[in-house]
Amino acid sequence: MSKQVAVILSGCGVFDGSEIYETTLTLLRLDQLGIGYRCFAPDIDQHHVIDHRSGEVAEGEARNVLAESARLARGEISALTELEAGDFDAVILPGGFGAAKNLSNFAEASDEMEVLGELAAALAGFHEARKPIGLMCISPVLVPRLLGRGIAVTIGHDPGVSGAISAMGGLHRSCGVEDIVVDFENRVVTTPAYMLATRISEAATGIFKLVDRIDELMDL
């Protein structure tokens, strides 16, 4: 596998980590295209732990983002501090609330958000080298803070989230669940995924398009 993609995770589970279906569909499509990948996650405590049956915070429980992400990666994962852009041709960030709680504090701070320093450092190398960057679901909200102002992204058409993106200097583009938005100048590809999806097949269509476009951009 000549092409290699870094996949950055934020835990395991839609409400407090990486969205499991989005992550699995991303890895599946990369494998179907013959693209190698390696998963990374920050070695930090989760913001909190959510009981995914009730949706409530599990009081008194603590989990580590890297350890939880290892569940999704079947143990094949490295700490985010070990990610070197020079070792990969592109990077993809699945969604899930971990992007808004562990990789940033967007869930609490909205357009006053700060992003995790080690994530910003890792993404800077890809952006500076003009290597493709894919983000899905809620993770495109990170773009204005990670990559700069004026980059076109989508989270679908949620007015609150899209408004926050605009307030941070981003350019939000409305988009259907089965489509993507591409900022060719900055080589950023985004799709709504479970910001809009009601079925896994809907999410799969947009995610597969995102991975396919990342594949194409790696050749340019």
201 contacts 174 by C-beta, under 8 angstroms: no
pLDDT value for 214 = 98
- Render pLDDT for 56-88 as a digit per residue (tens, 0 to 9): 999 999 999 999 999 999 999 999 999 999 999
Length of the chain: 220
Tell me the CB-side half-sphere exposure of residue 36, using CA atoms within 13 A.
9
Q: Mean pLDDT over all residues of the chain?
A: 98
% of the chain at pLDDT higher than 90: 100
**∠ at Cα 55 (80, 204), nearest 5°?**
60
Cα separations in angstroms, 178 against 73, 194, 202: 25, 11, 6
Mean pLDDT on 158-185: 98
Q: Tokens 């350019």 correspond to what residue?
A: 171
% of the chain at pLDDT higher than 70: 100
Task: Inform me whether the pLDDT recorded for 1 exceeds 80.
Answer: no
Cα separations in angstroms, 113 against 45, 153, 210: 18, 17, 25
Radius of gyration of the chain measured on its C-alpha atoms? 16
d(CA 37, CA 16): 23
Task: Inform me whether the pLDDT recorded for 186 exceeds 70.
Answer: yes
One of 12, 39, 137, 175 is an active-site residue; which one?
137
- Render pLDDT for 103-150 as a digit per residue (tens, 0 to 9): 999 999 999 999 999 999 999 999 999 999 999 999 999 999 999 999
- Render pLDDT for 191-201 as a digit per residue (tens, 0 to 9): 999 999 999 99
- The dihedral over CA atoms of 146, 206, 216, 122, expressed in degrees to the nearest 10, equals 20
pLDDT value for 71 = 98
Q: Which residues contact 219 (CB under 8 A, 6 or more apart)?
A: none
Q: Looking at per-residue confidence, does 162 or 1 come out higher?
A: 162
Cα separations in angstroms, 205 against 20, 102, 192: 16, 27, 11
**∠ at Cα 23 (19, 25), nearest 5°?**
120
d(CA 110, CA 173): 18
- Look up 137 and say whether it is catalytic: yes
Q: Tokens 């194409």 correspond to what residue?
A: 216
Task: Inform me whether the pLDDT recorded for 49 exceeds 80.
Answer: yes
- The answer, as to whether pTM is greater than 0.85, is yes
16: tokens are 């407090």
pLDDT value for 182 = 98
